[in-house]
Amino acid sequence: MGMGFMLLGERETARFLHGGWDEGFVTMAVAYRNSGVGAVIMVNSNEGFEMMDEILYAIAFEYKWPGYVSK
C-alpha cells in the first residue's frame, strides 16, 4: 500500500483510509468522500492497533457514520 489511500464503500459510505506506523506509535486517518467528516487517531504504542480500532468504532457509533457495523 505504501503511501496511498485505501478506498472503501460506495455512495454514502464512500470513504478513504490511511494508516501508519513508526517506532512508538500507530495512526489511522479516515474521511468520508461526500460529507467530509472524518477522524485522525494516534496511539503512543507499537501495539496500539486494537485500541485504535476501538476508538474508531466508538467515533463511528457516536456520530452515526454510515458503513460501520456495530460490534
Average pLDDT over all residues of the chain: 86
Inter-residue long-range contacts of 10-14, CB under 8 Å, 24+ positions, other chains counted = 12/66, 12/67, 13/66, 13/67
Q: What is the mean pLDDT of residues 52-66?
A: 91
| Reported pTM | 0.78
Q: 7 pLDDT band (50/70/90 cuts)?
A: confident
List pLDDT tens digits, range 35-53: 889 999 999 988 888 899 8
